[in-house]
Amino acid sequence: MARTSATERFKTILGILEQEFGQRQPYRPHPPVEQALFTVLLKDGQEAPAERALRRLQREFVDWNETRVSEAEYLDRILGKGFPQGVGELVRSTLTAIFNHSQAMNLDDIMGLDPQAAGTRLKKLDVMPSRVSGELLLANLNYGKLPEGAGLLRVARRTKLVRPGPPHSQMRGLRRISPNTRVPRVFHAFEMLAERICTAEDFDCAGCPIKSLCPTGVEKLKQLEIQKEKERQAQEAEKERSRKKRRQGRKARARKKAATKELKKAIQLRSKKLNISTSKQRERHRNTDAAGAVMMQTPSGKVKRVRNTKEKKKMTRKTSRSGQRKPATNSKNA
């Protein structure tokens, strides 16, 4: 019953992946190095785009060794916009793995082995993508069963299609639920998902086409939702603290403004009273300045300034009288 359930889930997952990444079509095998690059360049499971991209690389470079030492960004530009970013790096990694293995651009020693031994040797190529190793076995060595691939097993573990255990045991379980007639299609679909989305680290469950069928993806998405909810609550709390701080600031400014207004009002009232008495003093000073400062010589020789208005008027009259007598005195003497 559990096996039937796993088989049904497997068929459902395979159908979704083939809709997303294309169904791998039968194609003629190429020489080993070209076959490795052809696998990397295989787009939507169709042969024609990969053939055209392979010819573009052959026209651009003298040999595959020159391609190996080129920049990944330059390779991406040659391949064009039809290929996602990162395919150039896969091309470099594949050619580097081949060169590190034999110090030459060939895999003749591996292709001369039986499929089982060749598969073991291919797995030892460190930077060789597992999809390339499996496709070499299927296309060039007529490997009769589902090849073991790191990406294939990673997807099978995360989707719980296989039970926990060593890789060879998990491959046996996966081969039981995978029909032999669909081996190339299964390998292509699962490896493409592992290469593009279900990577070893920082895998993007939100963008995975089978996220609803993958227990690992469901759990991770649940954790992401919890994390997003916590972040949202933290942001809301921060916004509330900011709003509270702004409200407190507005209240403090309002209190300060009210206090300043009251203070200004009190100052205005006080200034109004002070301005009345000051205006009187200023009026007296203006009268004093208009009439002039009347000086009186005291017996002690000190000079006293007239401060009282009445005294000022008296002194003004006395001065005017004394000024009128003096001409009469002068006329008598004359």
Tokens 């390998």, located at residue:
187
334 found inside a domain: no
Q: Supply the DSSP string of 47-114, one letter for each residue.
A: HHHHHHHHHHHHHHSSSHHHHHTS-HHHHHHHH-TTS-TTHHHHHHHHHHHHHHHHSSS--HHHHTS-
% of the chain at pLDDT higher than 90? 27
pTM to 2 decimal places: 0.66
Note down the domain range covering 314: 295-323
Please check whether residues 222 and 133 belong to one and the same domain.
no
Q: Which two tokens stand for residue 289?
A: 């300045």
Q: Please give the Cα distance from 24 to 120 (Å, whole number).
A: 24
Q: Mean pLDDT throughout 313-319?
A: 61
Give the total number of structural domains in the chain: 3
Q: Please give the Cα distance from 268 to 157 (Å, whole number).
A: 84
Please check whether residues 155 and 271 belong to one and the same domain.
no
Q: Please give the Cα distance from 83 to 75 (Å, whole number).
A: 11
Please check whether residues 144 and 219 belong to one and the same domain.
no
125 found inside a domain: yes
pLDDT at 200: 87
Which CATH number fits the domain that encloses residue 110?
A: 1.10.340.30
| Domain end position, chosen among 211, 230, 251 | 211
Q: Mean pLDDT throughout 49-66?
A: 90
pLDDT band at residue 1 under the 50/70/90 scheme:
very low
Q: Please give the Cα distance from 271 to 97 (Å, whole number).
A: 94
pLDDT at position 46 over 60: yes
331 found inside a domain: no
